[in-house]
Structure 1
Amino acid sequence: MKASASNLNQTQIDGNVIDRCKRGDVRAFRELYNAYAAAMYNICLRMTGNVSDAEDTLQEAFIQVHRNIGKLESNTSVTAWIKRIVVNHCLNNLRKKKVYFEEVEEVEVAEEPGIDEDSFTWTVSAVKSAIHGLPQGYRTVLNLYLFEEYSHREIAEMMGITESTVKTQYMRAKEKVRQIVKQQNLIR
């Protein structure tokens, strides 16, 4: 019985499939792609903000994965390696579009007084919509920190900005999400 890519466990992907990919086995690369494409597409979509850019970025990233699979060291996590390639392609896509990341020194971002967040309807769709409505720089930092679980320092290094800028962008992004959700709740 042939196992589908979704049934493969991480050890099989890390070992057997990767070894076959390194030997040029096209079916093995298809298994690798099938195992990771959906998760990596979600990263691309969150970071680029639109389907077309997400699809293009995913394709470019997997072309690089294919070209460089032979360089993957056996002690490296396949998931982390592919994710890093995907995130780097997303960031390159944003740089091409001249996304602006505001350089700031320590800036305090004050919350609005008197916001009763307990009365908000915090639905997944409301939060997704709010995140999608963020300026691209804010959205990128928020996605990298919250969803991709990179540290502020790692984000700063990847983006070529200061750690304090990353922290400020993240704080402002969170506040903007709160404001958007609040507005959505007031409209209802």
Structure 2
Amino acid sequence: MEAAYVDKHYNLVVECKQGSKKACYELYRLYSKAMLNVAFRIVGNVGEAEDILQEAFTDAFNRLKDFRQETTFGLWLKQIVVHRSINLLRKRKLEFVKVEDGHLDNVADEEPWDDDDVQYQVAQIKDAMKLLPEGYRVVLSLYLLEGYDHEEIGQVLNISENTSRTQFLRAKRKLSEILTSRGVIR
């Protein structure tokens, strides 16, 4: 296993593969809060995020034999949670704003959002993000909070990379407007 990334919870995964319910519970205990947060940031509803969490762990434990530990268990589980969250949004018939030809050029000319000059409190940003349209919130969350790039977001959401970039720029602009109207930024 030289080339494979060794997960710090490797032994728990091995024990879980061997049928240890205690090891499965321990993996659940270690990862459930973080994965619930991932799901919640995407779907914006605690009840749905809890359902996604349970389904993701069920999927992970049922497919554990397929997990080859080329990455960490946490990253593998996070991918399951993100995909389940996106699938839920698709079931809600999430519609992304279509990018019109040439529109990206206009967006690119706009003034960038300067993070260095603005101090935010995390709670205020999270509250403001809840007010964003779902498409904006999902792309913003996947890009800023989950570390996906626009190509990966496009693949996960079945949209173009340009649509992801545009949604991200619009989300930042809308978030800035919300924060300005609330007096968080000037």
Which category of TM-score, normalised to the shorter sequence, fits these structures?
A: 0.7 to 0.9
Counterparts of 1:161 and 1:23 in 2: how far apart (Å)?
39
Contact 1:91 1:159 in 2 (8 A): yes
SS of the residue 2:183 aligns to: helix
CA shift in 2, pair 1:21/1:122, >3 Å = same
Counterparts of 2:82 and 2:21 in 1: how far apart (Å)?
24
Structure 1 spans left out of the alignment, 5+ residues: 1-9
- 1:26 aligned onto 2:21: yes
Structure-1 residue corresponding to 2:130? 132
- 1:90 aligned onto 2:88: no
Q: Which amino acid aligns with 2:137?
A: R
CA shift in 2, pair 1:82/1:68, >3 Å = same
Tell me how far 1:12 sits from its aligned partner.
4.0
Corresponding pairs, count = 175
Structure-1 residue corresponding to 2:154? 156
Worse-superposed segment, 156-165 or 121-130: 121-130
- 1:81 aligned onto 2:76: yes
Tell me how far 1:72 sits from its aligned partner.
0.2
Q: Which amino acid aligns with 1:16?
A: N
Structure-1 residue corresponding to 2:3? none
Structure-1 residue corresponding to 2:40? 45
Structure-1 residue corresponding to 2:182? 184
Structure 2 spans left out of the alignment, 5+ residues: 1-5
Counterparts of 1:179 and 1:123 in 2: how far apart (Å)?
16
Q: Which amino acid aligns with 1:95?
A: R
Tell me how far 1:106 sits from its aligned partner.
4.3
- 1:54 aligned onto 2:46: no
TM-score after normalising by structure 2: 0.86
1:98-120 deviations in Å (ceiling 9; x for gaps): 111122144223658xxxx96x7
Counterparts of 1:81 and 1:169 in 2: how far apart (Å)?
26
Counterparts of 1:33 and 1:12 in 2: how far apart (Å)?
15
SS of the residue 1:75 aligns to: coil
Contact 2:7 2:73 in 1 (8 A): no
Contact 2:7 2:69 in 1 (8 A): no
TM-score after normalising by structure 1: 0.85
Contact 2:39 2:82 in 1 (8 A): yes
Worse-superposed segment, 75-84 or 99-108: 99-108
Counterparts of 1:73 and 1:149 in 2: how far apart (Å)?
23
Counterparts of 2:69 and 2:177 in 1: how far apart (Å)?
46
- Indicate the RMSD between aligned Cα atoms, in angstroms: 2.4
